[in-house]
Chain A
Amino acid sequence: MSMLDALQIAVRAIIANRLRSLLTLLGLVIGVSSVIALIAVGQGTQKGVTDQIRGLGTDLVFIEPSAEATTQQGGGASPLTTTLTRADADAIAASGNPAISAVTSHITGETQAIAGVNNVGAESVFTSSNYAEVRDLEVATGSFIAPGHDRAGSLVAVLGSRVAETLYPSIDPIGQEVRLSFLAGRVVFAFTVIGVLQEVGGAADADDQVFVPITGMANRFRFLYTPTGDLRVTQIDVQAVPGADTEALKQQLTDLLLFRHNRSDPDFTIESQDDLLDAASEVANTLSILLGSIAGISLLVGGIGVMNIMLVSVTERTREIGIRRAVGATATDIVNQFVTEALALSVFGGIIGIVIGVVASLLVDGSTIGDQEMTTVIQAWSIAAAFGVSAGIGLLSGLYPAWRATVIDPIAALRNE
């Protein structure tokens, strides 16, 4: 019997039992497509997170107060708990380290932005003119905080794109008044809008932020100062020169801040962009593995379905096997028939699964589910693996029933009516 004959017999048997074949296929299709789609979602999440971190700027090192230090200070006189000051940032900038190209610092907090009847919850960022450059932020209209605003302590504001859209849906925001409320609405100040940032997109923070000169705020909130008169900040961003050894830089920054804070153990954390990328990749990879495993289990279940159907098929077709053996089919012919049938089913199911998996991944890409904008990255290896597993399961699940078919006594099989 030729391969073509075997395939023809297999296809005929599959078509003859349409409903049963479809249900069997369904298991494999769901398995293969979910492997492809879920791995694409996992990989997309990884890409989204790493893009976001890369979008923060280039060659950045972030210094933040350590969680422990924050807890110890909580409950103090100031509502702002941080161990970092603007003097720390100035000292880093003044240290003359050739690996450093720029330093900026800021304070973040919650605010409610109000313009006329519109208002929106946003994150306030008290910072200075060089923030935009360090963080790679571009203005769409107007301008960012200028050094003049820093010196004068002006009450001006630069809006993130989503904030601007919500507050000024129909008019040009530049020159308009925006009121920002702080300390849970107890204090409200009016600012003049001088710029709107370009949309960053994705889950980026900048779209939902409002930037104001830190000097202007320091004049109005005395608690921003330490008892010794230093201005507190919640984060210092250090931009390294391209190609600089960020690990060495982190060590030098640690040494400098430990000396300034007069401590032996750090009350701050220093992380480079690479550290964040590594951490984020690890989380995203775990997610990929988890999603892939779940999909893998469904593929396995689909494969067991094929085996189940093939076993039922052998029992049901005992008489057919008897007839075929009576007209000269060898045991090998019968094995070929059942293995080919199982393979044809699983290869066909695999192909449909690939199509559905890829289409589903493409449909999900760029769509928004809940609050989350979804990114998917289809992996060639996941397609190959899913298809390979599907075909392998087909082969295996065909072999045992095929062997069962050959041990059937043709005489008994012919009696089986």
Chain B
Amino acid sequence: MIRLDAVRKTFKTGETEINALDGVSLHVERGEFVAIMGQSGSGKSTMMNIIGLLDRPDEGAYLLSGQNVAGLSEHARARLRGTAFGFVFQSYSLLPRMSALEQVELPLIYQGVRDRRRRAAEALVRVGLADRIGHRPTQLSGGEQQRVAIARSLVVDPLVVLADEPTGALDTATGHEVMTLLSDLVNQHGMTIILVTHEPEVASFAHRMVRMRDGQIIQDTGASNAANPLNGEAST
């Protein structure tokens, strides 16, 4: 479903050039739960931004469901980003002064979906926040805020949920709860999740581990779909 082929990305910082991605190839199928690990500067966030259409590769191909998305216009990329991906960030990335329900409705506004309220409420129920629908970020705990962000990523029925250090701002117990929630989405609902983390404990929830260093993949445990009986047909 997601196929990166020899992708390169270079950043210029003053005089020096940094090879954030140095010829990376990755293939992720539907129903996979992939953890991308690496130290800061290893290129893991850059890869995720490229997968999430927030950034463009300098070289190489990116096929999303068989479609080459490298050449899409900015407008088309924004539309595709809204429908194909759900983002979960370390800092929750919720808008201030908006209720949980409104946060989750946000992606649907940009898609022009009609029954936003119902779908947003359903997504909140899915993440166990049925009784927090009208709460604002300041009235929610960190774990609850991250659940709202997960509900927001789910509400569009994305192909992939991209989670960038989703437990980075949470204590261990709450982080564990959030990871359990993400695992359930994969194991029980067949969701595809790509997780970026530098904590082995968090990565252990995933079925497949991709290690990066200096812009290259140095280890890939490969698709481990055996762990997920719902997705047997997706193995390669």
Residues of A within 8 A of B (CB): 1-2, 5, 9, 12, 16, 319-320, 322-333, 410-411, 414, 417
A330: contacting residue among B79, B83, B93, B152, CB under 8 A = B79
Contact call B79/A328, Cβ cutoff below 8 A: yes
Contact call A329/B93, Cβ cutoff below 8 A: no
Contact call A324/B106, Cβ cutoff below 8 A: yes
B12 within 8 Å of A (CB atoms): no
Nearest A-chain residue to B169, judged by Cβ = A417
Docked CA distance A16–B87 (Å): 25
Nearest B-chain residue to A334, judged by Cβ = B78
Output the least CB separation between A326 and chain B (Å): 5
Docked CA distance A2–B109 (Å): 8
A326-B93 CB under 8 A given contacts A5-B109, A411-B54: yes
Output the least CB separation between A313 and chain B (Å): 13
Docked CA distance A331–B76 (Å): 11
Q: Mark B92-108, 1 if CB is under 8 A from A, else 0.
A: 01111110000000110
With most chain B CB atoms within 10 A of its CB, the pick from A1, A325, A329 is: A329
Output the least CB separation between A346 and chain B (Å): 23
With most chain A CB atoms within 10 A of its CB, the pick from B82, B96, B98 is: B82
Contact call A328/B82, Cβ cutoff below 8 A: yes
Contact call B110/A333, Cβ cutoff below 8 A: yes
Docked CA distance A312–B35 (Å): 39
Output the least CB separation between B110 and chain A (Å): 4
Instruction: List chain A residues, Cβ under 8 A from B156.
Output: 327-328
B177 within 8 Å of A (CB atoms): no
Nearest A-chain residue to B81, judged by Cβ = A328
B233 within 8 Å of A (CB atoms): no
Docked CA distance A12–B91 (Å): 23
Contact call A320/B95, Cβ cutoff below 8 A: yes
Docked CA distance A9–B93 (Å): 17
Contact call A328/B107, Cβ cutoff below 8 A: yes
A323: contacting residue among B78, B79, B95, B97, CB under 8 A = B95
Contact call A331/B78, Cβ cutoff below 8 A: yes
Nearest A-chain residue to B155, judged by Cβ = A327
Docked CA distance A1–B112 (Å): 5
Docked CA distance A331–B55 (Å): 15
Nearest B-chain residue to A417, judged by Cβ = B91
B112: contacting residue among A2, A329, A332, CB under 8 A = A2
Docked CA distance A119–B230 (Å): 110
Those of B131-170 within 8 Å (CB) of chain A: 152, 156
How many residues on the B side are at the interface (Cβ–Cβ under 8 A)?
A: 28
Contact call A328/B54, Cβ cutoff below 8 A: no
A327-B74 CB under 8 A given contacts A320-B95, A411-B49, A414-B93: no
Instruction: List chain B residues, Cβ under 8 A from A12.
Output: 97-98
Contact call A330/B95, Cβ cutoff below 8 A: no
Residues of B within 8 A of A (CB): 49, 52, 54-55, 74-75, 78-79, 81-83, 87, 89, 91, 93-98, 106-107, 109-112, 152, 156
B78: contacting residue among A9, A319, A330, A414, CB under 8 A = A330
Instruction: List chain A residues, Cβ under 8 A from B97.
Output: 12, 16
Output the least CB separation between B107 and chain A (Å): 4
Instruction: List chain B residues, Cβ under 8 A from A9.
Output: 109
Instruction: List chain B residues, Cβ under 8 A from A329.
Output: 78, 82, 110
A-B contact pairs, 6 of them (CB 8 A): A319-B93, A325-B78, A327-B106, A328-B78, A328-B79, A328-B83
Instruction: List chain B residues, Cβ under 8 A from A322.
Output: 93
Contact call A332/B75, Cβ cutoff below 8 A: yes
Output the least CB separation between A175 and chain B (Å): 81
Contact call A327/B54, Cβ cutoff below 8 A: no
A328: contacting residue among B93, B98, B111, CB under 8 A = B111
A327-B75 CB under 8 A given contacts A1-B110, A320-B95, A411-B55: no
A327-B91 CB under 8 A given contacts A410-B54, A411-B55: no
Docked CA distance A330–B54 (Å): 12
Nearest B-chain residue to A5, judged by Cβ = B109
Instruction: List chain A residues, Cβ under 8 A from B74.
Output: 330-331
Docked CA distance A327–B114 (Å): 17
Contact call B93/A323, Cβ cutoff below 8 A: yes
Docked CA distance A330–B79 (Å): 7
Docked CA distance A38–B126 (Å): 61
Contact call B55/A328, Cβ cutoff below 8 A: no
Docked CA distance A333–B78 (Å): 10
Instruction: List chain B residues, Cβ under 8 A from A320.
Output: 95
Docked CA distance A326–B152 (Å): 11
Instruction: List chain A residues, Cβ under 8 A from B89.
Output: 414
Instruction: List chain B residues, Cβ under 8 A from A332.
Output: 75
Docked CA distance A414–B111 (Å): 21
A330-B106 CB under 8 A given contacts A1-B112, A323-B95: no
Instruction: List chain B residues, Cβ under 8 A from A411.
Output: 49, 54-55
**Apart from the given pairs A324-B106, A327-B107, A327-B156, 7 other A-B contacts in the complex at a CB distance below 8 Å:** A16-B97, A328-B107, A329-B78, A329-B110, A330-B75, A332-B75, A414-B89
Docked CA distance A417–B109 (Å): 24
Contact call B95/A326, Cβ cutoff below 8 A: no
Docked CA distance A366–B97 (Å): 49
Nearest A-chain residue to B156, judged by Cβ = A328
A330-B87 CB under 8 A given contacts A320-B95, A414-B93: no
Instruction: List chain A residues, Cβ under 8 A from B87.
Output: 326-327
Docked CA distance A2–B116 (Å): 13
Instruction: List chain B residues, Cβ under 8 A from A5.
Output: 109
Output the least CB separation between B141 and chain A (Å): 18
